[in-house]
Amino acid sequence: MTHKEHIKELAQGVDVLTLSATPIPRTLNMAMSGIRDMSTIEEPPEDRLPVQTFVMEHDWGIVAEAIRRELQRGGQVYYLHNRIDDIERTARRLGELLEGVSIGVAHGQMDRNMLANVMENVANGQIQVLVCTTIIETGIDIPNVNTLIIEDADKLGLAQLHQIRGRVGRSTRRASAYLTFRRDKVLTEIAEKRLNAIRDFAQFGSGFKIAMRDLEIRGAGSLLGAEQSGHMVDVGYDMYMKLLSEAVLEARGIEVPQRAECSADLAVAANIPDRYISSSEQRMDIYRRIAMIRSEEEADDLTDELIDRFGDPPPGVNALIHVALLRGEAGRAGITDIAQKQGRLRFTVKDFDMEKVSALYAMPDYKGSLRVEAGSAPCLSIKLRSKSRVIDEARRFVALWDSVNKG
């Protein structure tokens, strides 16, 4: 952080390009809000495979079996033990479990020449299992190491876990990462979120999603100060970003576009079941994000993420997304409210124009079905056809009303 700021101070008006697998929350937040420009590289290296990621209690039997499987196919292993005081004891324990296996140790307090010698032996295959600290986090590229085991993974940061996992899977072989925590340990809520995120986001291109999850877990930090993380007010990240982007536009002298809103009260089963997303906090986050959807592109992006994290969405979740799309389409068409009552759909329009209503009356599908209902705010209502899908019927009417408005 301080190094990047120092580079920018060397000369005024110089563009700075920063590359990151998982940007820190503060940097990502600044990019997402428009304060900085951002590009993403989505094409993975040729013939690379995603790293299979497992989150589990530490079990020496499973650890030994995972190491044996890797060694049997001629590969090597990183065993991350991030405590220097007893790292040698851990190496001896592995030596007892894996007779005849060459085991080395590497950490940041070793003599430079000794450390260089150990890493050279790993690179040339003389060391089969390297017991190490997070010293391997950056700058290590040994394609033959394709199994990673991390002790006390719950103590590491999300971006750090992703960075360390990137030390394996650097060849055409399928790699595996075992993120372990102590037996019978009750994980903190934040630690559990980190481990779930690193397990769920294993595909190529997931670094950006992991950074987003890290931003949600740790907070955005200070835009004007040096803090790299820290929570925003409990308005939800999406609302926070909406308010921030509007403030950025105003600061630039750009008119803030008014977002047309529409409420919808429909008799449809639209919810996120507990069996699909068990965490109540995660469900609330997804509810909030679905409510912000206003376009097909936004809906597709969130649906892809849901499939990646939780599997195929059940009908209730799909219905929620379609209702959000309906609200977006209706708002843009000048409809402020949609309600389902007594077998009819009622649409309250912002600018009531009888000439446009007459154009709808002339359409064959709405003859005998469409009517104007008087009141403090005149509305249009249509009779629902039997066995019709309410959301589809509403979206169809909204599309026709929009086309009539545009002439």
pLDDT digits (tens, 9 = 90+) for 153-164: 998 877 788 889
What are the residues whose beta carbons fall under 8 Å from the beta carbon of 143, sequence distance 6 or more? 170, 171
pLDDT band at 233 (very low <50, low <70, confident <90, very high): very low
Asked if residue 397 has pLDDT above 80, the reply is yes
Between 341 and 353, the more confident residue is 341
Q: What percent of the chain has pLDDT over 70?
A: 76
Asked if residue 225 has pLDDT above 50, the reply is no
- The mean per-residue pLDDT over the stretch 247-252 comes to 72
CA-to-CA distance for 206 and 219, rounded, in angstroms? 19
pLDDT digits (tens, 9 = 90+) for 183-210: 888 887 777 877 877 787 666 556 555 5
Average per-residue pLDDT for the chain:
79
Q: Find the angle CA(132)-CA(137)-CA(140) to the nearest 5 degrees.
A: 90
Asked if residue 362 has pLDDT above 80, the reply is no
Asked if residue 46 has pLDDT above 70, the reply is yes
Between 366 and 391, the more confident residue is 391
Asked if residue 116 has pLDDT above 90, the reply is yes
Q: Estimate the share of the chain in helix, then strand, then coil, as percent rounded to the nearest 5.
A: 45, 15, 40
- The mean per-residue pLDDT over the stretch 339-347 comes to 85
Closest CA to 66 of 81, 49, 82, 78: 78
pLDDT band at 243 (very low <50, low <70, confident <90, very high): low
Q: Are strands 129-132 and 103-106 parallel, antiparallel or unpaired?
A: parallel
Q: What was the pLDDT predicted at 47?
A: 74
Least confident window among 71-75, 143-147, 260-264, 346-350: 260-264
**Token pair of 305 as six digits:** 């993420």
Q: What was the pLDDT predicted at 229?
A: 40
Least confident window among 62-71, 289-298, 312-321: 289-298
Between 37 and 380, the more confident residue is 380
Between 335 and 242, the more confident residue is 335
Closest CA to 162 of 202, 129, 217, 219: 202
Q: Find the angle CA(63)-CA(65)-CA(69) to the nearest 5 degrees.
A: 120
For CA atoms 391, 394, 400, 401, the dihedral sign is: negative
Asked if residue 217 has pLDDT above 70, the reply is no
- The mean per-residue pLDDT over the stretch 115-143 comes to 93
pLDDT band at 226 (very low <50, low <70, confident <90, very high): very low
Least confident window among 29-33, 86-90, 186-190, 215-219: 215-219
Q: What was the pLDDT predicted at 231?
A: 42
Q: What was the pLDDT predicted at 228?
A: 39
Q: What was the pLDDT predicted at 220?
A: 42
